[in-house]
A and B are shown apart, each in its own frame.
Chain A
Amino acid sequence: MEKSLYRFILKHSLKQQVIIVLLSLASFIPYYYYLSMPKAIVNQGIEGKDISFPVDLFSLGWVSLDHTEYLLVLCFAFLALVVVQQGFKYAINVFQGIAGERMLRRLRYLLYAQILRFPLPTFRRTSQGEIIPMVVAEVEPVGGFIGESFALPIFQGGMLLVIFTFLLIQNPLMALAAVSLYPIQFYFVPKMQAKVRALGRERIKNQRRISDRIGESISGITEVHAHDASNRMLAEFSRRLGFSYWIRVEIFQRKFMIKFLNNFIQQLGPFFFYTIGGYLVIRGSMDVGTIVAAVNAHKEMAAPWKELLNHYQTREDVKQKYDQVISQFEPEGMRAPNDQHEEPENPPSLAGPIAVSGLALSDDQGHPVLEGVNVTIPWPARVAVVGGEGRDEFLQLMARTLAPTRGKITINSHNLANLPETVTGRRLGYVSSSAYIFNTTLGDNLLFGLRHRPLVPRKLKPEELRRYERERREALASGNTDFDPDADWTDYAAAGVKNQDELRAVAIDALRAAAFDEDVYQIGMRGTIDPERHPEVAARVLEARRAFRSRLSDGALADLVESWDPARYNSNATVAENLMFGTARNGIYHEDNLARDSHVLSVLDQVGLRRRFLEIGHEVATTMVELFADLPPDHEFFQQFSFISSEDLPEYKDILVRARPDTLEQLSEPDRYRLMSLPFKLVLARHRLGHFNEEERQAILRAREIFARTLPPSRRDAIAFFDPETFTVSSSIVDNILFGRVAYGQAQAQEKIGRVIGDVVEQLGLREPIIEVGMQFEVGIAGARLNAAQRQKLAIARALVKNPDWLLLSEATASLDPRSHDMVVKAIVGARGESGLIWSLQRASDCQGFDMVLVMEHGRIVQFGPFADLQNQPGRFREMLAPTG
């Protein structure tokens, strides 16, 4: 990046700056005429001095004007000049804005690109809280300044010059008097300003620490709670805020003192005019008009002069800010830009032996982490790394995410230090023990390692294309990349496949090898699809529904599920579900809103159940109050069993005091609504409160039919009806296959049903489509919606999918339970038979299936050889294998 701000501006926006300057200069011509026009109007147009009518305009003999006409022409000319001058101003402002914004975009882009190239150890010293405000907030004024960096001084200076020239022509003495104090201002104010700027820098630094502090509190919030540290955190935060406050106060004092001095000096001008000029008038050597003109001109000059001074101050400020940010963004040991951005012409293969010689690594305090590491690993090989410290660093060096302090690594006779990231990041696959998962879908995370640059452009409609082209040109104008994030970036060839369908199979294989396929399948089961976009999957789900049903009809399983049947009441579903015979797709038919919905109420009226719902609501409330009244409010039963939350319980108690069973209608509307909303939540088989006899259930079935028939057309999208022959939109896949409710009180019903559904899904080949649905799952910030083991398995699958020459796993399975751990080790060791695998493991016994074992101790390799050899040799490895205790 350019070391000085002005070099940066000139290098990237010279053309715009020239245009802005030229525009500014061109605007002086109308401005000069605009200034002189009032005099012409007064003298010639109104008073008719030095002119004889009719006037021959421009002496061409085209038109002749009498006095009034001439005045009008002059006035309109004045108006036209105003328009032209403001037009110039508009154009200059817009142009400046664009130039500034482009440069700001470029600057931010460059800074972000720098961050992506920082050597990893930098991030141990620099916190997010410090870097983020620099890129986001602190460079903002730089952008504003760049647009006017040249134009403003030229424009305002020119303006000053125009006014000054104008004055000079009018009265040279007064013109000189008006500017006589400027040099003093120009000398003193910047000196005072320097101190304010220094304070401003302090303030910025302090603000960075404040944001850093907030970030840290959020990351460590569990610890704050666990150790009752909130008071201490608050006190520290308050001290930081205090710093900011006192700095600000000092800035205010100085800043307003400068303002005071500025204004004072400004007013010294008129003071001199009145005293000296007045004295000269009394003496008779000057007329009053000249003094008035001088005072006015001085006032005119005040604005551009102030602008110039301000500009000078911001310039110093922004220059400093720029220098400060740039120096922060150029740490030692940064990778070259081409390492990441240039596509290699003949990408070398790294499928070959690894030779490590004299490798050493020191931490940032200079302590050795690795020392004198020499080893040659043949190809293909599966190597287990066990032992003590230095294992992860060793793997990171081979993955090229760390650079060695000394020594050399070659893979397939390519020196790793000379290989760009475009090669190492594709041919090597490194997974750390705490791999990061991005906040997008599971599938996008899985294919993260296959997306290096856009390969297939997206298809655009003509109007979209125009827009896209415009955006692309703008991105290039700001020196940004023009890669389209919405294009298809997936490198199918790298994964060894031709198209998306084949990739799917590879992806599922990778999930299986990482023991993650079952998780994704379960996630997919709970997910849903849009049957219009995936009609084929929807059709197969319906097929699974039928198959599941026929499996259920045989004896032992029959009681487990109560299916949705349009002609039968489902006693394992809520009354609301039975009435609507569908699921609410938005809030309109949400369980809580039914009791005050006019459509639902009219349906209840038609089957004569409205009064009954009120009675049942009253009975349910009575039972709930009786059961739960003397439980503490935070008891978990409220959550698990009660229809009424602990907060609402007192309110229901009050209602029950007011209500008499025979005069329920007389209750107020809100009371009735509260009572009536309870029966909708009843699940008869589960709650067994003895409500809704056979006759009333029949009435609900009639209501079901009326409800569907009278559904207002505007509410078609509010509900998805159950239909045996269609996919229920907005229900999960498992609910769609189940198409009913799990019967209450049947032991192990979930497990048994799960097994049957699993069988059906397997038979119909539906497992893969469901895994694909699972891949649409949004994993949340840092994968928070997955558990730690799932995140880790996803990270392993992500490295497997890209089919690297060498797969480098650094205790990547540490957070897995022992069973999954063994499964993953077995699967991956099996899958990497013909290629490279280096795996840092904790237990020596895990090394059995590997070709070679490498034992590290204190940053050195102490043993290296086949498992069988090391097992039989006395040494560190045999000690590790021996059972402890």
Chain B
Amino acid sequence: MSLNEEVELLRRVPLFAKIDPSKLKLLAFTSQRLTYKPGDVLFRQGDPGDAAFVIIGGEAEVMVDTPSGPLTVAHLKQNDFVGEIAILCDVPRTATVTASSEVTTLRIEKDLFFRLINDFPQIAVEIMRVLAQRLERTTADLRALSARTKGSA
């Protein structure tokens, strides 16, 4: 895949849709495109976070360690964004992400990530939207769970 094709691909990711093509080219050039085999781990819960990932192709599972074993909390597909929490909040990875098919990602280093947010408020808004959606879903899950535990009690 050439750089120009990659730029085209990135433009289709909602997060980057409004970014100037020349900046997108720099992003593509300086970010590592990584391919993971099925079962490979993108990052592990508890690891220090140094980069965020954009899924360019393939699917991955997000799992959280619980006292009763690993729990799958989300599925990732093309154009999804993952790993931003650890670099935004400077905390260790909050979940483990494993490739469930062959996954191609764009790995964005922490510094570049902050630079992008500074330079392009649209990205910040987009990330907020994604985070808010996740929060909303988590809240819904929690509500459902508490309703269930009350019902069984």
A residues apposed to B, CB below 8 Å: 556, 559, 626-628, 636-637, 640-641, 687-690, 745-748
Contacts and interface: CB of A to CB of B under 8 A. Distances in A.
Contacts of A556: 37
Contacts, number: 40
Contact of A689 (B2, B26, B40): B2
Contact of B6 (A637, A688, A746, A748): A688
Given A690-B3, A747-B40, A627 B34 contact: no
A637 B40 CA distance: 28
Nearest to A690: B2
B34 A747 contact: yes
Contact of B3 (A559, A689, A746): A689
Contacts of A748: 40
B34 A746 contact: yes
B42 A690 contact: no
Contacts of A690: 2-4
A636 B2 CA distance: 24
Contact of A640 (B25, B30, B40): B30
A745 B6 CA distance: 13
Nearest to B103: A747
5 contacts: A627-B29, A687-B29, A688-B6, A747-B36, A747-B105
A745 B102 CA distance: 13
A687 B33 CA distance: 11
Give the 9 A-B CB pairs with smallest separation, nearest first. Answer: A690-B2, A747-B36, A688-B3, A747-B34, A627-B26, A745-B33, A641-B30, A688-B2, A745-B35
Interface in B1-28: 1-4, 6, 22, 25-26
B32 A745 contact: yes
A626 B40 contact: no
Contacts of B37: 556, 747
Contacts of A559: 35
Contacts of A746: 34-35
Given A746-B35, A747-B40, A641 B29 contact: yes
Contacts of A641: 29-30
A637 B31 CA distance: 11
A626 B26 CA distance: 9
- Name which of A688, A690, A746 has the most chain B CB atoms within 10 A of its CB: A688
Q: Which of A626, A627, A628, A636 has the most CB of B within 10 A?
A: A627
Contact of B1 (A626, A636, A688, A747): A688
A758 B111 CA distance: 33
Interface of B: 1-4, 6, 22, 25-26, 29-30, 32-37, 40, 42, 105, 111
Q: Is the interface of B mostly helix, strand, loop or mixed?
A: mixed
Contact of B42 (A688, A745, A747): A747
Contacts of A640: 30
B111 A636 contact: yes
A640 B32 CA distance: 12
Contacts of A745: 32-35
B49 to A, nearest CB: 16
Contacts of B36: 747
A626 B22 contact: yes
A627 B25 contact: yes
Contacts of A687: 3, 29
A745 B40 CA distance: 14
Contacts of B2: 688-690
Given A747-B36, A748-B40, 16 more contacts: A556-B37, A559-B35, A626-B25, A627-B25, A627-B29, A641-B30, A687-B3, A687-B29, A688-B1, A689-B2, A690-B2, A690-B3, A690-B4, A745-B33, A745-B35, A747-B40
A748 B25 CA distance: 25
Contacts of B30: 637, 640-641
A755 B32 CA distance: 22
Contacts of A689: 2-3
Contacts of A688: 1-3, 6
Contacts of B32: 745
Contacts of B33: 745
Nearest to B33: A745
A748 B103 CA distance: 13
B97 to A, nearest CB: 11
A641 B28 CA distance: 11
Contacts of A747: 34-37, 40, 42, 105
Nearest to A641: B30
A559 B102 CA distance: 13
Nearest to A684: B2
Nearest to B25: A627
A639 to B, nearest CB: 11
A638 to B, nearest CB: 11
Nearest to B32: A745
A747 B98 CA distance: 12
A516 B6 CA distance: 44
A687 B22 CA distance: 16
Contacts of B40: 747-748
Contacts of B22: 626-627
Contacts of B4: 690
A813 to B, nearest CB: 25
A626 B20 CA distance: 13
Contacts of A637: 26, 30
B41 to A, nearest CB: 8
A636 B110 CA distance: 13
A78 to B, nearest CB: 89
A152 B34 CA distance: 83
A122 B32 CA distance: 57
A745 B31 CA distance: 10
Contacts of B1: 688
A748 B36 CA distance: 8
A689 B4 CA distance: 8
- Among B4, B29, B36, the most chain A Cβ lie within 10 Å of the Cβ of B29
A363 B120 CA distance: 64
Nearest to B1: A688
Contacts of B6: 688
A396 B12 CA distance: 69
